[in-house]
Chain A
């Protein structure tokens, strides 16, 4: 087996031969030394070029030898042109530091950009830089998960939760990955906010479907959080405060690299009472992250090592035996080794250990004890080889040793004790056909050689993405793929706010869920600054693992199998200048779930959704942002009548059948009715200025400016409606030294 794998990996390298020159290098930010992602590297006078990857690395093979002019550009940076001599059969290293452009109305200079996104054969991917996260008016604090909600195809069941649903998939079908590590509980404070402090984020890569072979493990989406490296040129720190929490960061150079440390702690839980319909929740949370980068040619030439860690902790301690206490914590550690080899090969090796522990301590309440523990050790080995023709071959092995423990008593008093340990061994290989200017292809297979789920250990997931550019400003895209997921949450979709959603490996008596995505889309640059996109999708899900809502005894299974499907179309436009942007989208979507032979719309099924986002940087550091969101009503189950429900309040009562009868309601068809539509306008105004050596950012946000009464749910017993967030002002201050 090992001999076969060795030959398999080496095959493309054995076939390799060079007859031209090659250019490669790293694009960095001149102010802090951090990598510049998606920079456009173009050889003037040719159609050859490349875009820098997440490490800022680029590689351009098959270059005609001799003198060449290289133009390096990216939004927000001053474009540079550099003369370079390309030598036959030689890899020339060209590292470039880009200088950030000062942002004024007069310095808009993205003309001549090669639109790297148009040439990439990927589909349904959105890159969200930190500035875009911060441009969404803050619900107390800027938050990456709330920023996702303005993305077409992403829906939510309310303002109260940061939980999100992508193109008709359930919330547990989304992965949040930070530095290659899966974050199992990405929420702080009852799901109101993300645990990831924006201070540590460089960029989000959001795959909404059709993701290529190197990604897997989820049916709907992957949110890849790319963190900052820390300033390589000077020491600096920030301190920030909002009405809810305080935070700080510290970063700077170390010999051969840099470090970044961030920390955040809550100090005023009352700030979120309006998110909880004025209920108090004495929660406390903190999160801490660190990242160390090291690169030294004397130690390992063209190698780049990163050690990172992330820890978060949430608790609600009532100090009252008559109330429950809650504890949630994440701990992630990781080591990355990014290596550019002498041949046109680079590799990325990742070792991560991620744990999550959640517990509900009922004390002396009628609540039930619940505990969930996850331990995930992952090692990923990814290799990319680039041919002279610009084609690429990618291969990799992903291994995951996963332990999940779940101890709970459900609300009916039934106990569940599940302890599972599994091994995922995944191999993938894909070929990126990039040699043609007008036609690109990314095709591969992902093979689950051994799966943590026993029922279906061998899963084959073919993936194919195609892009056709008849002209440089127009791209037709197609994506088809098969996806599987053998981890699931034990959550009830009828719980609008669910504080405890434990993860477990799909139990042995069920098959892991599998999905097929069919996606087609068109991207069109109407002008250099205005991009129009349309994407249609169909997602078919088999063996969806769903909670058994009829589990009344410990002998009943915790999960049952269901099926799902969703389809829709997303229209989007994106107008972007350096000082102003205007984005908008409209999504039409249908999603269905089929369980026990009955098909219904899940709670998050949103028929129409409109997002409009406007940002304007004006006059001496002022910035204005506005977001307006509309979505048609979410499904709910109507009332078909009432009945007097027999309760048994006193089991020792004289006559059982006399007991106590309390009015209850009869349900109609499940989720067949719709709540009123939702819309909300949020605005923010921020100002950046300098006092001596400190840069100060002040931000004032107004949520739900016109105080729209958006219904969250209605109380069936009384017909009373419970609304989502009212008008809420908030403010924050950030100081950077």
Chain B
């Protein structure tokens, strides 16, 4: 063999080595069952969804077009010895890109969770499998204000922020929302606008930051964000006095421990550079996966400082 033949063999060998190898990251399919619910402390209408895992050819789960929700289950929630049977129903599906417009679910219109109660869930699947779960309804909280009226310390506040806080235990997750209620003379009804915590300027573009669920027992709003929201109410109108500010209202969702853990586990964010392989999604469902949780809502009306409102040209009364 001449030297060109040798070089040819070496090059072909190296090219062969460079090829990527096929491998199969998929295992034999396992059927598992899921329960999802968050019972609302401020409503009588409660919904529970029961679903199962599925498989697709290839790696794109978007190719699955068979609805994974399971109908025909026996679903029951027990509170202090009283059983609430959930009935089969169809609810609107938020995303209809893969499945139909309706999705099977279970509904009750009689159960209102009360603070600090223990609730038990029992789900019997049509194939005889049983899923159970237990959760404790979170308590209501009392919201305290940094000053009695929004805008009272607009000039004097060192932090330039309006703050709210509440007594807490760390195992809960809180979702605050601050809204301003107002009327306008040219239209009937009461209008509302949500107040962000911050207005940021990033790459010369304004970005609005709204409160996110977290375990902090406080929230603060940059006065510049409140100013901007107040100004936005009359944006495009010269006659400011046609707007009348009624009040502000803060609402606070309090997730129970199980819902808080579940939310945290599906909404975790690492950083821009780390690469993580697995995630550990929380579950409190025995015999399956998913979450059985509850939440409560607290709301509190907040006053505005008259001079502060007046500085925008709005009326108060």
Contact = CB atoms under 8 A, between A and B. Distances in A.
A709 interface: yes
B131 interface: no
Most buried by A among B55, B264, B266, B278: B278
B281 interface: yes
B266 A648 contact: yes
Interface stretch (A436-444, A528-536, A650-658): A650-658
A366 interface: yes
- Chain A: interface residue count, which band? 35 or more
A177 interface: no
B274 A320 contact: no
A320 B203 contact: yes
Interface of B: 14-15, 17-32, 34, 36-38, 40, 47-49, 51-56, 58-62, 64, 68, 91-95, 105, 170-171, 173, 175, 177, 198, 200, 202-203, 207, 209, 212-215, 253, 257, 260-261, 263-278, 280-282, 289-291, 295
A208 interface: no
B90 to A, nearest CB: 12
B120 to A, nearest CB: 18
Nearest to A720: B59
A498 B202 contact: no
A708 to B, nearest CB: 5
Contacts of B15: 706
A11 to B, nearest CB: 54
Given A414-B264, A552-B265, A642-B53, A364 B209 contact: yes
Contacts of B93: 658
Contacts of A492: 276
B20 A723 contact: yes
Given A499-B271, A641-B31, A643-B32, A657 B48 contact: yes
A555 interface: yes
A709 B14 contact: no
A709 B32 contact: no
Contact of A721 (B14, B20, B62): B20
A603 B175 CA distance: 37
Contacts of A633: 23
A642 B175 CA distance: 30
Contact of A658 (B27, B94, B281): B94
Contacts of B18: 706-709
A360 interface: yes
Interface of A: 190, 276, 279, 281, 316, 320-324, 360, 364-368, 410-415, 492, 494-500, 549-550, 552-555, 603, 633, 636-648, 651-652, 655-661, 663-668, 670, 673-677, 679, 705-709, 711, 713-714, 716-721, 723
A668 B27 contact: yes
Contacts of B263: 648
Nearest to B29: A641
24 contacts: A276-B273, A321-B200, A499-B271, A641-B30, A642-B61, A643-B54, A646-B266, A646-B291, A656-B38, A656-B47, A657-B36, A657-B38, A658-B94, A661-B94, A666-B30, A666-B32, A668-B30, A673-B25, A675-B23, A676-B21, A709-B18, A711-B20, A716-B25, A720-B59
A720 B214 CA distance: 33
B193 to A, nearest CB: 14
Contact of A190 (B37, B53, B273): B273
Contacts of A603: 277
Nearest to B255: A651
Nearest to A648: B263
Nearest to A726: B18
Contact of A642 (B40, B56, B95): B56
Given A711-B23, A716-B25, A719-B25, A360 B271 contact: yes
A674 B21 CA distance: 12
B64 A663 contact: yes
A496 B277 contact: yes
B51 A658 contact: no
A660 B36 CA distance: 11
B172 to A, nearest CB: 9
B235 to A, nearest CB: 23
Given A657-B91, A673-B27, 18 more contacts: A276-B273, A324-B272, A494-B278, A499-B271, A552-B264, A552-B265, A553-B170, A553-B171, A553-B264, A640-B28, A641-B53, A642-B56, A648-B267, A656-B47, A663-B62, A668-B27, A676-B20, A706-B15
Contacts of A674: 23
A719 B272 contact: no
A719 B63 CA distance: 13
A553 B94 contact: no
Contact of B14 (A655, A668, A705, A716): A705
Contacts of B280: 549-550
A324 B48 contact: no
A321 B206 CA distance: 12
Contacts of A679: 17
Given A655-B47, A676-B21, A676-B23, A647 B266 contact: yes
Contacts of A652: 175, 177, 253
A553 B14 contact: no
A86 to B, nearest CB: 60
Nearest to B282: A552
Contacts of A281: 273
A555 B171 contact: yes
8 pairs of A and B residues whose beta carbons are closest in the complex: A719-B59, A663-B61, A709-B20, A411-B268, A412-B264, A676-B21, A552-B261, A706-B14
Nearest to B103: A658
A661 B59 CA distance: 18
Nearest to A722: B275
B274 A498 contact: yes
